[in-house]
């Protein structure tokens, strides 16, 4: 989930209206190693945004506990992702960068919003129904985490929220909750709206181009992780699914494997996928170009990651400073919600 809110001002009942300047909001769930799809579709746009606007970036570790998890792995992935994002160019002096669980307002607003959400609304979420169908022990947090996601967004007065199709339903639930809360208790929250990134927002699995590249759902052979060495990147791209057509052409519907490679190349070097198809008439040339482009993008990130890994104390200090800034920034939102819903303030 990422968000790019714009300034807004709403009249409120008994509290000051939210009127923050333009801010970008990005959340990342530490459930695995970050991959190329994360970089091209979310991290790189986030880094570009925080150079021109105020930004909030958080690691959604509370979301990572909705299914069975290993506590040590959760901590390790949280630190790895924090280090990776700093290596990718996130500037802690420009962006408020923190871990979700270290800002209690997320959990507090989550509960307040649960008090304005129906069981049926949460139960009808497609991701809950799909994930719960494969588990013997379904955690209650799996049912309610879309409400926590709503809290993540509403805490920061997000207006425009870039989401993929797999998160559209959750964003719609956020809108419904915010609208209902405002209608019941007075104007309190900015009601967000979905916007959709255009280029390389959805990088597909190299081995199965009908499935999105993912930290936990894709096979390792189809996912380029950001810390993969060049030789491994080369092997994965070489084995990427294409098709039996004799020439390279950009056709996402009929030729998804080739289209995926062209979209990755376009995101790395610029240009349109269709134009790049004409420049790389054979699969061999296309895969060689994709390999070179991806390795070129990953090299500076991996070098910086190696440096930062030698000083984990610095990364922890960055996260601690960011959490303090975030706690101060969202204090007013939680106050408005507490006051509106009837709690003593």
Q: Which residues are catalytic?
A: 131, 212, 215
User: What single DSSP character describes residue 250?
Assistant: -
9: tokens are 């001002």
Nearest-angstrom CA–CA distance, 97 and 78: 12
Residues 6+ apart with CB under 8 A from 272: 266
Distance of CA 188 to the CA centre of its chain: 25
- Torsion (CA) 88, 91, 95, 100 in degrees, nearest 10: 50
**Phi, psi at residue 27, to the nearest 5°?**
-125, 140
Distance of CA 31 to the CA centre of its chain: 12
Distances (CA, A) of 82 to 102, 106, 306: 14, 19, 13
Residues 6+ apart with CB under 8 A from 214: 32, 35, 37, 205, 223
286: tokens are 């296309």
Distance of CA 113 to the CA centre of its chain: 21
CB contact at 8 A, 287 and 238: yes
Task: Kindly tell me the burial class for residue 197, based on how many C-beta atoms sit within 10 Å of its own C-beta (0-12, 13-18, 19 or more).
Answer: middle
Beta bridge partners, 99, equal 59
Of 37, 10, 293, residue with least CA distance to 157: 10
């Amino acid at each position: 989930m990422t968000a790019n809110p714009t300034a807004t001002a709403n009249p409120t009942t008994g509290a000051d209206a939210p009127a923050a300047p333009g801010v970008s909001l990005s959340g990342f769930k530490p459930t695995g190693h970050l991959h190329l799809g994360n970089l091209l579709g979310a991290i790189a746009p986030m880094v570009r945004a925080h150079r021109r606007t105020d930004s909030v970036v958080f690691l959604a570790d509370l979301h990572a506990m909705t299914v069975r998890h290993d506590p040590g792995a959760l901590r390790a992935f949280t630190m790895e992702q924090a280090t990776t994002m700093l290596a990718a160019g996130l500037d802690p002096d420009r962006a408020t960068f923190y871990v979700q669980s270290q800002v209690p307002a997320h959990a507090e607003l989550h509960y307040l919003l649960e008090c304005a959400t129906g069981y049926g609304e949460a139960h009808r979420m497609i991701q809950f129904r799909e994930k719960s169908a494969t588990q013997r022990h379904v955690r209650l947090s799996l049912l309610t985490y879309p409400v926590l996601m709503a809290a993540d967004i509403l805490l920061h007065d997000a207006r425009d929220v870039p989401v993929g199709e797999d998160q559209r339903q959750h964003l719609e639930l956020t809108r419904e909750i915010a609208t209902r809360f405002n209608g019941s208790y007075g104007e309190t929250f900015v009601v967000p709206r979905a916007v959709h990134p255009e280029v390389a927002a959805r990088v597909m699995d190299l081995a199965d181009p009908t499935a999105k590249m993912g930290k936990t759902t894709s096979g390792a052979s189809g996912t380029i992780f950001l810390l993969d060495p060049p030789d491994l990147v080369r092997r994965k791209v070489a084995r990427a699914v294409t098709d039996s057509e004799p020439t390279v052409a950009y056709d996402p519907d009929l030729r998804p494997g080739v289209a995926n490679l062209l979209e990755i190349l376009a995101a790395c070097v610029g240009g349109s996928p269709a134009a790049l198809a004409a420049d790389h008439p054979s699969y061999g040339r296309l895969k060689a170009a994709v390999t070179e482009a991806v390795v070129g993008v990953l090299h500076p990130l991996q070098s910086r990651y190696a440096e930062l890994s030698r000083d984990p104390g610095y990364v922890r200090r960055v996260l601690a400073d960011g959490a303090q800034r975030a706690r101060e920034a969202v204090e007013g939102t939680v106050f408005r919600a507490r006051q509106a819903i009837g709690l003593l303030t």
